[in-house]
C-alpha cells in the first residue's frame, strides 16, 4: 500500500469506526431511555422523599395534572408543596409524560387506557396489570416490597429506567 492509500485507509476506518460508535451510543441511549432516568431534582426531592420517583412516562399528561392539582389529599395524605415547586414539578411531569414519549411502553400504556381514563396509580392501568399478571397479589405484600408502588423492590434497575424482565429479582420475604 502506498503512503497515500494508507492515509485513505486510516481516514476511512476512522469514519467507519466513529459512525459505528455513534450508532451504538444512540441505541444505548434509546435503551437506557426505555422508561427514562428521572432528571428533575425537585421531583426527586419532593416526591421521591416518600415514594419511588416514578418515570413520568408511565402516566398520561391528564393523570399528572390531576395528581399535582390534588396534593392536599394525595392518596389520603397531605403532600402539599409551595406553588413554585408544584408548578416546576408539574411542568417536568407533563413534558415527559406518556403522551410526549415515543417509547414502546408509553405507547402501550396509553393504548391500554380509554381516552378519558385518568388513572392516579400506575398500578391501576391495564398495562401494568397485564405486565404483572403472573405476580400473585400477596407477593406485593411481602415485607421488603410492601406494595405495587415500590418498583425497585423487584426491579433492581428501576431507578435507571430499566424494567427489563431479566433484571427482576423478587425477594423471598
Partner 1 sequence: MQVSSVFTAVLLFVATSPELGLAAGLNAEMTKYVQGLETQAKKQESGFKGFDPVRGKKLFFDARPNDKTGTISCATCHTPDLKKSGKTLVGKVIEPLAPSANKARLTNVKETEKWLLRNFKQVYGREGTAREKGDVIMFINAQ
Interface positions with partner 1 (CB under 8 A): 48-52, 76-82, 145-147, 149-150, 153
Contact 73, 65 (CB under 8 A): no
Nearer Cβ to partner 1 (101/119): 119
Nearer Cβ to partner 1 (76/137): 76
Contact 125, 119 (CB under 8 A): yes
Nearer Cβ to partner 1 (67/145): 145
Q: How far is the CB of 53 from partner 1 (least distance, A)?
A: 10
Q: How far is the CB of 23 from partner 1 (least distance, A)?
A: 38
Q: How far is the CB of 51 from partner 1 (least distance, A)?
A: 5
Q: How far is the CB of 19 from partner 1 (least distance, A)?
A: 44
H or E element at residue 88: helix 83-95
Nearer Cβ to partner 1 (108/142): 142
> By C-alpha distance, which of 157, 144, 106, 101 is closest to 128?
106
Overall size of the chain counted in residues = 173
Print burial letters for 28-44: b (CB count within 10 Å at least 16), e (below 16): eeeeebbbbebebebbe
Amino acid at each position: 500500500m502506498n503512503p497515500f492509500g494508507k492515509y485513505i485507509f486510516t481516514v476511512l476506518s476512522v469514519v467507519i469506526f466513529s459512525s459505528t460508535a455513534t450508532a451504538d451510543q444512540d441505541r444505548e441511549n434509546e435503551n437506557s431511555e426505555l422508561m427514562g432516568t428521572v432528571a428533575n431534582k425537585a421531583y426527586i426531592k419532593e416526591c421521591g422523599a416518600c415514594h419511588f420517583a416514578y418515570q413520568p412516562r408511565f402516566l398520561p399528561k391528564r393523570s399528572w395534572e390531576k395528581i399535582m392539582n390534588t396534593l392536599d389529599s394525595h392518596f389520603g395524605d397531605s403532600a402539599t408543596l409551595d406553588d413554585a415547586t408544584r408548578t416546576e414539578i408539574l411542568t417536568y411531569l407533563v413534558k415527559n409524560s406518556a403522551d410526549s414519549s415515543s417509547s414502546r411502553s408509553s405507547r402501550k400504556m396509553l393504548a391500554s387506557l380509554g381516552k378519558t381514563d385518568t388513572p392516579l396509580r400506575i398500578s391501576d392501568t391495564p398495562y401494568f396489570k397485564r405486565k404483572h399478571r403472573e405476580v400473585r397479589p400477596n407477593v406485593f405484600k411481602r415485607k421488603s416490597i410492601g406494595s405495587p408502588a415500590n418498583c425497585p423492590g423487584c426491579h433492581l434497575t428501576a431507578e435507571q429506567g430499566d424494567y427489563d424482565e431479566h433484571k427482576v429479582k423478587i425477594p423471598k420475604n
